[in-house]
Amino acid sequence: MSKIDRSTVRKSFNKGAPRYEDTVIVQKMVIEQILSNLEKLSPQHFPLRILDVGAGTGLLLRSLRKSCPEAFLAGLDLSPGMGVTATGSLPEDGNFLYVVGDAEDIPFADETFDLVVSTSTFQWLSALGKAFSEAKRVLAPGGMFLFALFGEGTLHELKSSYRSVLLAENAIGKDRSHNFFPREVVEKDLYEVGFSEITVENYFEKEYYPDVPAFLRALKGIGAGTAASRPAGGLGGRRIITKMMEFYQRNFSDERGVPVSYEVIHGKGMKV
């Protein structure tokens, strides 16, 4: 996994915060699946202290507030801009707190929460072990860790097109695209941190855009560009990007438009 520039992640999502909810599609589907999993819990076992890591604009938190109005909800996100958007959409009461902070250094005491959730966040980390360990630390005994992240099959059309052009240009060593975690690594790290009753599942979702430029604008608009440390200039020079877009359009588009694939990995673990 490439080293992640955390300041780049923060700046990108700060910029994308105002338009985030108008742009994302698969991320909303992921949240719905997490909520569906929580609905299977019996009322007497529903958690009353919940932390959302990478809470973003508060999409999941708002739904949790509706389904469990008596629960204490905390949101954590690296981006201050996301926090401003979230706090503006949630009631100001003693049962809600939003904190700017890092998933690898959660600013809460040990055993504070009954449930730690996270959606579409951990794929922006260089490694998963520290974040998983922090989630376990802040969980009370018997608490649940429930999350979803994007796996290695995500954006495969874009990555394949980009690497094909780099290969043709004899520049494969200059690959600056983001690497997503394989399912096996997610499962291994959960076990190594010490969670029990682990389940890890994956499935694929697909979006369509009118053309490649429309997709790239949407990706940039929500702040989800590649976060790997790199020189200025994005994925490469104008010629490389132009060729990549042409390759993508020619080899992957169909009557529905330009496809964009996401591998969604759902994980669950319990703290003994």
| DSSP characters over 57-102 | TSHHHHHHHHH-TTSEEEEEES-HHHHHHHHTTS--STTEEEEE-B
Within-domain flag for 234: no
Q: What is the pTM of this model?
A: 0.86
pLDDT at 52: 97
Whether 213 is covered by a domain: the verdict is: no
Query: What is the pLDDT at residue 190?
Result: 98
In-domain check, residue 15: yes
Q: Range with the lowest mean pLDDT among 9-18, 183-192, 256-265?
A: 9-18
Give the pLDDT score at 223: 61
Q: Mean pLDDT lowest for which of 81-85, 178-182, 204-208?
A: 81-85
Top pLDDT among 178 and 212 is at 212
pLDDT of residue 178: 85
Residue-level pLDDT at 153: 96
223 lies in a domain?
no
Q: Is the pLDDT reported for residue 231 higher than 50? A: no
Give the number of domains in the chain.
1
Highest mean pLDDT among 2-6, 11-15, 41-45, 144-148: 144-148
Domain assignment of residue 60, yes or no: yes
User: How does residue 182 score in pLDDT terms, banded at 50, 70 and 90?
Assistant: very high
Does residue 166 lie in a domain region?
Answer: no
Specify the CATH number for the domain of residue 26: 3.40.50.150
**CA-CA distance, 61 to 9, in Å (whole number)?**
21
Please check whether residue 227 lies inside any domain of the structure.
no
Residue pair 50/98 in contact (Cβ under 8 Å)? The answer is: no
Comparison of pLDDT for 94 and 115, the residue scoring more: 115
Model confidence pLDDT, tens digit, residues 42-92: 766 788 999 999 998 899 999 998 888 889 999 999 988 888 888 877 777
Q: Is residue 164 part of a domain?
A: no
The range of the structural domain enclosing residue 92 comes to 6-154+180-206+263-270
